[in-house]
Structure 1
Amino acid sequence: MAEMYASAAPFSTNNTDVSVQNLRRSVTYHPSVWRDHFLAYTNDVTEITSAEKEELEKQRERVRSMVVQTPDDSTLKIELIDAIQRLGIGYHFEKEIEESMRKIHNTFDKDKDDDVRVLALRFRLLRQQGYRVPCDVFEKFLDEEGKFKESVMKDVEGMLSLYEASNYGINGEEILDKVLEFSSSHLENLLPQITNQSLSRRVKEALEMPISKTLTRLGSRKFISLYQEDESHNEILLQFAKLDFNVVQKMHQREIHHITRWWEDFEFGKKLPFARDRVVECYFWILGVYFEPKYQTARRFLTKVISITSLLDDIYDVYGTLDELQLLTDAIQRWDISLVDELPPYMRITYEVLLSVYAEMEQEMAKQGQSYRVQYAKQEMIKLVRAYMEEAKWCYSKYFPTIEEYMKLTLVSGAYMMLSTTSLVGMRDPPITKQDFDWITSEPPLLQAASVICRLMDDMVGHGVEQKITLMDIYMKEKGCSKMEACNEFWKQVKKAWKDINEECVEPRAASMEIILRVLNLTRVINLLYVGQDSYGNSDSKTKNLIKSVLVDPLQY
């Protein structure tokens, strides 16, 4: 997973033999972009005043009244629900929205709407909610030759709505494939001709990142400004969305303050200079998995785990010798702090902190009689480091695996199986059961699809810059094809995997939507950070701006 974009002298210690240093791979990552920036966000700075709390509650009830009082069979209702969800305030009204969407589904009539925008919006909202509505509702907009009617092609709002809906397609829905292909290319062609600046921005944003792949918090930050430009916007919704965004941002700033303090106390940046110092980026990653205030504990757990995992990844990928890595792997499999002295000095701090993080999790979950959850998480971490070790053996022995061998191992080493399991440990509402952990650790189709996306997107940006074999190398050799041909095939597989995820999100589901959303959101983060470049390893431009937009800059009233 580590991306290597430059070469530099490796980290050294006085008692390290030169021959051992020569075995180490050479790499330089840019230092932390944020350093101690978030240490300034003390309790005084992030305090949520009584006035803010009162105003938030007052505005929330006004919006709730709007949701309840707007008729479910009206176009206004689906437009209201869409706005609420895209503004990032849907988590306040989950029960009300679910009740409305259930009624809308029960009375769904594919022949009722002749307005393409409205029908596509209704379809998308139902699919988002997990309802398996039929895709043949769009056949009415095709002519006798199977092409879109002229009236549809001239309707930019309708075409945009169709495009967003078609991104919720599952395998076998040929009409949605046709809708997606046509709407995306048609919107691309129309974009230079759109004179309405607000509409032009919405089309551009959608083509870059459709709603189906958008992280809620980041999406709401962008949509609030777009919504404000819309002359027909609802001022009550807009003001509540802004206030809620800023209040929640203060909560997140307080959390990243404590996470940064925890990280800085161990001085990882100084003690492991060969590794990526990315704790803020890790928090941003996990903020994508769950941003809601009720997931504060789960967010803290998972941020610490992914931060340590990033260090482990670099130890195995970049710095450790094979003998050292075997010692670390054995120690983690035995999970015994007394083994720390058997490790090389640079490995000890990582091992100690790894065990302390899981001990912290176990202590907190034991209070609720749920310490068993941490055992599942530990086993997934052990499985991950075993995969890291096998990859290291391949690298040192210059073994060239088959596509099948590579994918079997690297779907695990991509870490998404471990992160998905660990994401459930700190979740309290709704309750997570032992059966849920049994399901997610069985590597179900949902998790397989997410891991495929993670692996393929990682390998596409890593090829040519990583000092190890990637799937690109193996595929080109086995198939006798070019890099472009391999990339085209990988994108086909990524698209299929997204359809697999869409399939797992609609009823009947193998798990609750709350659990499925964790895996879906993890996949959305990969889709954001690994398009075109590794924006995690190289986090000093695009990722820096994304973090700034959700964790630094408040919204202006």
Structure 2
Amino acid sequence: MTSQVSQLPSSSPLTSNKDEMRPKADFQPSIWGDLFLTCPKKDINAETEQRHQQLKEEVRKMIVAPMNNSTQKLNFIDSVQRLGVSYHFTKEIEDELENIYHNNNDAENDIYTTSLRFRLLREHGFNVSCDVFNKFKDEQGNFKSSMTSDVPGLLELYEASYLRVHGEDILDEAISFTTTHLRLVVASLDYPLSEQVSHALKQSIRRGLPRVEARHYLSVYHDIESHNKALLEFAKIDFNMLQLLHRKELSEICRWWKDLDFQKKLPYARDRVVEGYFWISGVYFEPQYSLGRKMLTKVIAMASIVDDTYDSYATYDELIPYTNAIERWDIKCIDQLPEYMKPSYKALLDVYEEMEQLMAKHGRQYRVEYAKNAVYTSRNIYFIQKR
């Protein structure tokens, strides 16, 4: 493969010049210790799995069932999403929202329903105009003062405003308007509305991580008077089942990381494998992406090691053979490396070899080349920065 590093100078002796100062890293140690290595091993029993499946079908039927008005339908879909179980009903939700998009008479909706409809449709990629909020302005172009007494409506408008795009001035105004008035009333509200408003002011739905938001909403939804018991029970079981899967995955990853023993072999490097798993889970939390979560966490962990080797410890002379070795991607290059670099270089190759073997089972091993190319690109950037 042709790259900038092909023109690197010949390697200097592996022993660095003793007078050359190494970069000094001062990363905080991991706060987790062996916590996730010792997670209790549990399995979901057959009775719970059967109940989960039964409730799943009940919720599916409720999503597609006719309701008295669009507000009821929107509320139910919103609850399904915020409780973290919408991934089970992707097609059903999409079909219902498409029907609402084409058939709903928005002119008759209040601020609550208009805002909820706007947010849900935009979340699913429907082209809905922010002009729907013009009717809530007075003759002076300000939001009507009468809206301030409708706290649920204000809250929905606040959440909807975070779906704005550049140039939508009315939604910029809506954020300012709702934030001001929600802050004024939050202390006087009763639970659970007070908790919903307080949480939203700290972080809108749009800016939250789905699993973290689902855990919070589970505790709130229980106390909402109109909550659906079947949906709540299903969401609790589903959350626990998925959490158990995530804990097992993390335990497996932490065991892999501990066996590499980088804490002793590479004390200069960050130990952030748990944080890496959390990062990926924020993108792909669904059970069908289990393999992807584990592999991407390993990729992130090794990228962090490579980054720290370049930035936080290795000398320029040591990085010449290291950079060439990554370009050649050949275990035979390991003999050219300083001793401390050998474990991380082997681990890097092993992670991508594991990925290639797993992808080969699905006839997709060619995709690993794209991942390797990303490593080559990063390595070039790291080396240029080191010069």
What TM-score bracket applies, with the shorter chain setting the length?
over 0.9
What is the rounded CA distance, in whole Å, between the counterparts of 1:94 and 1:242 in structure 2?
A: 19
Aligned to 2:10: none
* 1:96 equivalent in structure 2: 92
The residue aligned with 1:358 is 352
AA matched with 2:37: L
Counterpart of 2:373 (choices 376, 379, 382) is 379
Report the Cα distance in structure 1 between the residues aligned to 2:136 and 2:264, rounded to whole angstroms: 61
Q: Is 1:139 equivalent to 2:134 in the alignment?
A: yes
Gaps of 5+ in 1: 1-14, 394-557
Equivalent residue in structure 1 for 2:72, among 70, 76, 82: 76
Q: Which amino acid aligns with 1:30?
A: Q
| Post-superposition offset of 1:321 | 1.5
- 1:132-163 Cα distance to aligned partner (Å, 9 max, x none): 10110000111111111011122211111011
Match of 1:26 among 24, 49, 57: 24
Question: Counterpart in 2 of 1:119?
Answer: 114
Does the CA-based 8 Å contact 1:328-1:343 persist in structure 2?
Answer: yes
User: Over aligned residues, Cα RMSD in angstroms?
Assistant: 1.7
For 1:400-454, what per-residue CA distance to the aligned partner results, in whole angstroms no more than 9, with x for missing partners? xxxxxxxxxxxxxxxxxxxxxxxxxxxxxxxxxxxxxxxxxxxxxxxxxxxxxxx
Aligned to 2:176: 181
1:163-178 superposed matches below 5 A: 163-178=158-173
CA 1:147–1:317 in structure 2 vs 1: closer, same or farther (change >3 Å)? same
Greater CA deviation, 221-230 or 84-93? 221-230
Within the candidate set 287, 312, 321, 1:293 is matched to: 287
Name segments (4+ residues, structure 1) moved above 6 Å.
none
Contact 2:16 2:318 in 1 (8 A): no
Contact kept? 1:46, 1:251, Cα under 8 Å: no
Question: Aligned to 1:377, what secondary structure does the other structure show?
Answer: helix
Q: CA deviation at 1:334?
A: 1.8
Whether the aligned pair in 1 keeps the contact of 2:22 and 2:313 (CA below 8 Å) is: yes
- TM superposition score normalised by structure 2: 0.92
Asked if residue 205 in structure 1 is aligned to residue 199 in structure 2, the reply is yes
Equivalent in 244, 250, 253 of residue 244 of structure 2 = 250
Give distance in 2, aligned partners of 1:108 and 1:391: 56
> Which residue is 2:102 aligned to?
106
SS of the residue 1:111 aligns to:
helix
Distance 2:376 2:202 in 1: 37
Distance 1:130 1:52 in 2: 35
> How many angstroms apart in 2 are the aligned matches of 1:139 and 1:260?
53
Whole-Å separation in 1 of the counterparts to 2:312 and 2:298: 21
Output aligned runs, 1:309-324, within 5 Å: 309-324=303-318
Number of the residue aligned with 2:235: 241
Q: Report the AA paired with residue 129 of structure 1.
A: H
Superposition TM-score, scaled by structure 1 size? 0.65
Query: What does residue 342 of structure 1 align with?
Result: 336
> Alpha-carbon deviation of 1:296?
0.7
Measure the CA separation in 1 of the matches of 2:128 and 2:32: 45
Q: Name the residue aligned to 2:33.
A: 35
Alignment-derived partner of residue 60 in structure 2: 64
CA distance in 1, matches of 2:191, 2:371: 48
- 1:382 positional shift: 1.2
Check whether the contact 1:72–1:104 (CA below 8 A) recurs between aligned residues.
no
Residue number among 195, 198, 209 corresponding to 1:215 in the alignment = 209
The letter of the residue matching 1:175 is I
For residue 58 of structure 2, what is the amino acid of its counterpart?
R
Which residue is equivalent to 1:87? Answer: 83
Contact 2:70–2:100 (CA under 8 A) maintained in structure 1: no
Count of aligned positions: 373
Q: What's the offset of the Cα at 1:326?
A: 3.1
Counterpart AA for 2:319? L
Task: Indicate whether 1:160 and 2:158 are aligned.
Answer: no
* Structure with greater Cα Rg: 2
Q: Secondary structure at the match of 2:67?
A: coil
Alignment partners' CA distance in 2, 1:365 and 1:110 = 48
Q: Distance in 1 between matches of 2:114 and 2:58?
A: 28
Q: CA deviation at 1:71?
A: 3.2
8 Å Cα contact 1:70-1:76 kept in structure 2: no
**1:25/1:318 contact within 8 Å kept:** yes
What are the Cα deviations for residues 297-326 of structure 1, in whole angstroms up to 9, with x where unaligned?
111110100111111222222112122233
Residues 233, 340 of structure 1: alpha-carbon distance in 2 compared, 3 angstrom cutoff: same
Give structure 2 stretches of 5+ with no counterpart.
Answer: 1-14
CA-CA distance at 1:212 after TM superposition = 1.0
Which one of the candidate residues 229, 241, 244 is aligned to 2:223? 229
- Cα distance in 2 for partners of 1:376, 1:169 equals 34
Counterpart AA for 2:259 = D
Q: Deviations over 1:24-56 (max 9, x none)?
A: 2223222222222222236xx231211121111
For 1:420-435, list aligned pairs within 5 A.
none
**How far apart are residue 73 of structure 1 and its match?**
5.0
The one-letter code of the counterpart of 1:137 is V
Question: Retained in 2: the 8 A contact 1:73–1:104?
Answer: no
Q: What one-letter code is carried by the residue in structure 2 that aligns with 1:83?
A: S
